[in-house]
Amino acid sequence: MSPRKVRGASAEDGEELQLSPSETLAHNSAMRVSGARSGRQSTQRALASIVLGFELIIVFLMGMTVFGLSLLEPRELGIYIGIGLCLVIVVALACMRGGLGIKLGWAVHALMLAVAFIMPMSLFVSLVFLALWIFCMVRGAQIDRDRAAWLASQGAPE
């Protein structure tokens, strides 16, 4: 697979940027999830899907930790909570093209903070992901607004 040229992007020396095959795959996946096929690209949704994708792994491991440390009775409840939260994340990822995915993402972060009552050591991880989520929501929305303004100034349809 040859490197892919990025449309509208340029390196500092004036040459067009080229993506490696793995970068191209990641870019295409994020854009597909964010609705780029429908013409409604959203950096905010692409960033949200990336955060939730990483969070999916961590949430599963948190559920396994609750199970392994026997923090709940019965022990299996930790696995059920972890799998349940993972399913909410998967649904949020599936709904990311609409506004429901973002709302479910906020709910996931609230539930992760609630897990800190069961396993206090998870509070740090929950706060880190919440901070990352907030940053991606704010910055992604700003990038989307800037892109819309730039497209409007160029006379291009959104």
pLDDT tens figures, 23-73: 787 777 776 665 555 556 789 999 999 999 999 999 999 999 999 998 888
Confidence at 150, pLDDT banded by 50, 70, 90: confident
Separation in Å, CA 140 to CA 42, 48, 97: 8, 9, 14
Which of residues 20 and 12 earns the better pLDDT score?
Answer: 20
Ranges of each domain in the chain: 42-136
C-alpha of 23 from chain center: 17
**What is residue 52's predicted lDDT score, i.e. its pLDDT?**
95
Residue range 73-82, pLDDT digits in tens = 898 998 999 9
**What is residue 49's predicted lDDT score, i.e. its pLDDT?**
93
DSSP 146: H
**What is residue 35's predicted lDDT score, i.e. its pLDDT?**
57
**45 Cβ contact list (under 8 Å, min separation 6):** 33, 34, 35, 96, 97, 101, 102, 140
Entry field: residues in the chain: 158
In DSSP terms, 18 is beta-bridged to 5
pLDDT at 10 over 50: no
Residue range 100-143, pLDDT digits in tens = 999 999 999 999 999 999 999 999 999 999 999 999 999 999 99
Which of residues 88 and 153 earns the better pLDDT score?
Answer: 88
Are 71 and 119 in contact by the 8 Å Cβ rule? The answer is yes
pLDDT at 11 over 60: no
Token couple for 65: 């930790």
Among residues 56, 57, 5, the alpha carbon closest in space to that of 27 is found at 5
pTM of the model: 0.73
